[in-house]
Structure formats: C-alpha cells, structure tokens
C-alpha cells in the first residue's frame, strides 16, 4: 500500500477514499475510515489496511463514530474477501475447506486462497482459527461457561483446545475466563545497560520483558495486562535474568528461553520471522512481509512488532523501515539504536561465555 498517498487522504479527510482503505491508530487500538472527523493521530501511530477485516485481524477495534465496516467495497477482490469473512463468521461451528467456501461463493479454491491471503495476510483457514479464538475470548469474558464458550466458538473438542491453550490464550480457558484470576505472575526489576529491565514469568515461562526508566510505569503495565492475576515481585528464574543481562552486555547473542505469551496466528508468524533474523542484521518491514508471503502486509508486520510482549527474546528491534531508518520501538528509538549498534560492533563468536 502507498502509505503516503493514504496518509494524505486521512489528512484531507477525503470522503472519496472511504471504502478503499481504513487506518488503525496504534495508541488507541481503533481503526477508522479516511473521512473520520475524530482527532487526527500522529503519523507514526498510523497503520493502513485494505479493508476493515484486516484491521480487526491485526487487533484494532472499529471506530464507533465513523463506523468503518459500513464503507462500500471498492473492487471485486475486496468484495470476495469480505464475502469469505462473512461466510466464515457465519459457519464457525463447522470445519471449513477452501472447496466448500469457494463453492458457496462461486470462486475456485486457488483463486480464493490467493486473493484472500494477498489482502488479509493470512489464509482463510488461519482467519477462521483467529475468529474462533476471538469468539471464545468474548464468550468467556461475557460469563459463559467454559463448555458453552467452546461450543459457541465452534470448537468440536475441548481436549484439543486445552492441548493448544498456551498458543491460543496463553493460559487455559478456565483461567482466561477469570481474567487471569489464579495465575501466579512473578516479576523482577533490575538495572541493565539500557535502563530498568522488568522480567515477568508464569510457571510456563516468560510472559513479559520490558525496558524503561520508571519502575512504577513498568509495574502498572504488567498489572493492566492481567488485572485479576496475582502479580507480585518475586525472584524470576536466574537463567532468564542472566541470559538477558548477558545479551545486553553483548556476551550471549542467542536467548533460548521458555515463553508464555498470547498471540494471533499472524503475530506468531511475524515473531518467528524476527527470531530467524541473524544476530547483527536487520530486515525491513517489507522484507518480513514478503518472507511471510504477503508483500502488502508491511503495516500489519509493524503492528505485530509493536505488540511483542517479550522484547529482546523476540528481537523486534531488528525490524527497520524501507529506508533503513528506525521506526516504532516500544521502549524508545534510542534503545533500539543502542541494541543494533551493540549487535553490529560485537562479534558473537568472540563473546560467548566459556
């Protein structure tokens, strides 16, 4: 997507562009149509999407003021993708195949797969998985029983969900229903070469790695993530602490640690691609999008980097703009620059601990 072209449409609140794209604001988590009369966001906080479903898949919520879902589809490909999304949403209680969806919509499976992934960044199957997760979370938050929520979200087997609960929810459905109630999250805040370092963990693994200047701010962000969990200061696994400190001191480039994080299918793909970037190297958001098979997903890749809860372990600082400039690091561009400079100037093979 031509980001500057779309940004100008947002600046002008151009109604003629309604339906051709939507924009999401990272600081609020809301997406709008170009003509929305809401306060104009800062440029660096904006991500563009070809249609509302793609914005929602990336974690944004629709603006209640401009109702971007109601914008007309501008071309046949977008109309097809919207029809697929609607069909999937209406048939979550059934296992879906490309052949079934294509037959219902009058499109070949190959064409449907190509067009859908080209605009959405994920396959129809991955979209269906993500929508089931959203439906499951919504039902649990609204007070449904675990069994009822699983059924209404289209899961035919509760055992399969529990087997995959770490990947789907970051915890079991019962614990998620309770807003993290009963979870034990211990965290430690220590000095590091880049300021204060917070490392938090559950019994399954590391759930947060944060950098900052103020302990209170770091603690508050962790409490907001799990409002009903038992979050307390505690000694976190010494191996995790030493590994991260060694890394920040340039002595150990690779951190293999157990994780306990929530992620959509697309976020997991982006995070795995980030972990595959060699120490001391970078990739542009466009390069990462192409590696994932969707050159148009640059903004979605940026959003996945911004929502990474375990910085350093998942090295989102290695993602840069197409011009090579640094963009959007949650813990500040100065820290991003410092991490990249450290990796570029230290040879990993000469700095591993004996």
What domains does the chain contain, in order, with CATH numbers?
3-70 (3.40.10.10), 181-354 (1.10.10.10)
pLDDT, average across residues 18-36: 89
Q: Cα(114)–Cα(294) distance, rounded to whole angstroms?
A: 10
CA 267 to each of CA 85, 88, 199: distance values in angstroms, whole numbers, following the listed order: 19, 20, 21
| Residue 235 DSSP symbol | -
- What stretches of 121-237 show up as alpha helix (H) in DSSP? 124-141, 146-152, 158-163, 165-168, 173-177, 215-225
The rounded percent of the chain whose pLDDT value lies above 90 is 14
Tell me the helices (H) and strands (E) count for the chain, helix number first: 16, 10
Residue 279 φ then ψ, to 5°: -55, 130
Q: Supply the residues annotated as catalytic.
A: 32, 316
- Residue 10: pLDDT above 80? yes
Q: Kindly report the length of the chain.
A: 354
Top mean-pLDDT range of 63-67, 148-152, 229-233? 63-67
| CA 192 and chain centroid, separation | 26
Q: Render pLDDT for 166-221 as a digit per residue (tens, 0 to 9).
A: 555 555 555 555 555 567 889 999 999 999 999 999 888 888 898 888 888 888 87
**Confidence (pLDDT) at 63:** 92
- Residue 13: pLDDT above 80? yes
Question: Around 114, how many Cα atoms within 13 Å sit in the side-chain half-sphere?
Answer: 5
Q: Render pLDDT for 249-305 as a digit per residue (tens, 0 to 9).
A: 877 555 578 888 777 677 888 988 998 888 888 999 889 988 888 787 887 888 788
Contact 40, 69 (CB under 8 A): no
Q: Which residue has the tokens 């439906």?
A: 135
- For residue 350, which of 283, 277, 280 has the smallest C-alpha distance? 280
Position 234 confidence tier, pLDDT thresholds 50, 70, 90: confident
Residue 140 φ then ψ, to 5°: -65, -40
Find residue 23's DSSP bridge partners. 32, 48
Which residues, other chains included, contact 49 with Cβ-Cβ below 8 Å and sequence gap of 6+?
21, 22, 23, 24, 31, 55, 58, 60, 299, 300
What's the whole-number average pLDDT of the chain? 79
pLDDT, average across residues 74-87: 81
**Confidence (pLDDT) at 354:** 42
Query: Residue 188, Cβ neighbours under 10 Å: how many?
Result: 17
Q: Cα(155)–Cα(19) distance, rounded to whole angstroms?
A: 33
Q: Cα(61)–Cα(37) distance, rounded to whole angstroms?
A: 17
* Beta strand pairing call for 206-212 and 230-233: unpaired
Between 101 and 91, the more confident residue is 101
Instruction: List the structure tokens of 96.
Output: 């879906």
Instruction: Tell me what percent of the chain is helix, strand and coil, each rounded to the nearest 5.
Output: 45, 15, 40
Contact 273, 284 (CB under 8 A): no
Q: Which residue has the tokens 């500057």?
A: 4
Instruction: List the structure tokens of 278.
Output: 């060699």
């Amino acid at each position: 997507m031509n980001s500057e072209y779309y940004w100008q449409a947002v600046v002008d609140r151009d109604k003629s562009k309604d339906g051709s794209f939507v924009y999401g604001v990272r600081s609020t988590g809301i997406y709008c149509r170009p003509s929305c009369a809401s306060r104009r966001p800062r440029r660096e906080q904006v991500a563009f999407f070809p249609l509302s479903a793609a914005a929602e898949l990336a974690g944004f919520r629709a603006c209640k003021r401009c109702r971007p879902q109601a914008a007309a589809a501008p071309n046949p490909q977008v109309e097809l993708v919207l029809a697929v999304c609607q069909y999937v949403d209406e048939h979550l209680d059934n296992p879906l195949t490309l052949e079934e969806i294509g037959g219902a919509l009058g499109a070949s499976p190959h064409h449907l797969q190509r067009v859908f992934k080209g605009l959405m960044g994920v396959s129809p199957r991955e979209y269906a998985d993500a929508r089931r997760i959203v439906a499951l979370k919504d039902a649990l938050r609204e007070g449904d029983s675990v069994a009822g929520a699983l059924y209404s979200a289209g899961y035919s087997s509760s055992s399969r969900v529990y087997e995959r609960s770490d990947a789907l929810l970051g915890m079991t459905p019962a614990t998620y229903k309770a807003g993290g109630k009963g979870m034990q999250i211990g965290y430690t805040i220590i000095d590091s070469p880049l300021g204060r370092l917070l490392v938090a963990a559950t019994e399954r693994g590391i759930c947060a790695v944060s950098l900052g200047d103020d302990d209170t701010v770091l603690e508050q962000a962790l409490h907001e993530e799990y409002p009903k969990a038992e979050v307390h200061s505690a000694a976190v696994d010494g191996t995790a602490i030493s590994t991260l400190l060694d890394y920040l001191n340039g002595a150990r480039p690779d951190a293999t640690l157990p994780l306990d994080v929530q992620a959509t299918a697309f976020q997991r793909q982006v995070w795995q691609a980030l972990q595959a970037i060699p120490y001391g190297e970078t990739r542009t958001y466009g390069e990462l999008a192409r590696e994932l098979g969707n050159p148009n997903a640059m903004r979605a890749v940026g959003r996945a980097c911004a929502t990474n809860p375990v910085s350093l372990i998942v090295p989102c600082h290695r993602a840069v703009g197409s011009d090579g400039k640094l963009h959007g690091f949650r813990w500040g561009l100065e820290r991003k620059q410092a991490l990249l400079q450290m990796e570029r100037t230290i040879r990993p093979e000469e700095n591993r601990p004996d």
